[in-house]
Amino acid sequence: MSVAEKLSSESTRRFVECYDLYFSLVFSSVYSRVGNFHDAEDISQEVFLRLHDKIEEVNEPRKWIFGCLKNVVMDHYKKKSNSDLDIDVLLNDVTMGYVNGFRDARVIIKECLDQVLEESGYRDAAIFELVSMYGYTFRETARHLNMNYKQVIYRYRALAAKLLEKLRTRGISDPGDLL
């Protein structure tokens, strides 16, 4: 298959789109918890390699990627049997965005966050997570997601307003009270 044929297929176009959107997010998510750059690199690449093979069957890329991430992390650390990391803790933590469990303010915040992220588009969610949860600047986010700097600011603002509104509906009228 020639390069043109390979790149012109619909599956490749969709894969590149997903890759651009989620690679930095997945990598940051794994790396922030694993703490080892090479492990995080291997895990992220494995996730996207699997996505590449299954892209035609995947309907919800975000859910699929984070679901696959659990399996890949498990496989990775099974191979490295001498690792000191607690896989259960790691799994819960890595996919924390999709796990419930606490009944304090943190749970409320997380629930609101999850709801807002689910309700918003994939791109908006990726922007919000990179900026708020992994400390990316707007400029860095724009670079990683191949977006315009002003677009990133605009989308982040819209999502932040939604989150504050969601917290208000849950009884937290002033987020400053949580501090």
Return residues touching other proteins (CB under 8 A): 1-4, 6-8, 12-13, 15-16, 19, 23-24, 27-29, 31-33, 37, 41, 44-45, 48-49, 52, 96, 105-106, 109-110, 113, 131-136, 140, 143-144, 146, 148, 153, 156-157, 160-161, 163-164, 175-176, 178-179
Helix ranges restricted to H, the chain: 3-8, 10-34, 37-54, 61-79, 87-94, 105-119, 122-128, 138-144, 149-169
We find the least distance from the C-beta atom of residue 136 to other proteins, in angstroms, to be 6
We find the least distance from the C-beta atom of residue 119 to other proteins, in angstroms, to be 16
Q: Looking at beta carbons only, is 81 or 125 nearer to other proteins?
A: 125
Q: Do 136 and 130 form a contact (C-beta atoms < 8 A)?
A: yes
Neighbour count for residue 69 (Cβ, 10 Å): 21
Q: Looking at beta carbons only, is 78 or 139 nearer to other proteins?
A: 139
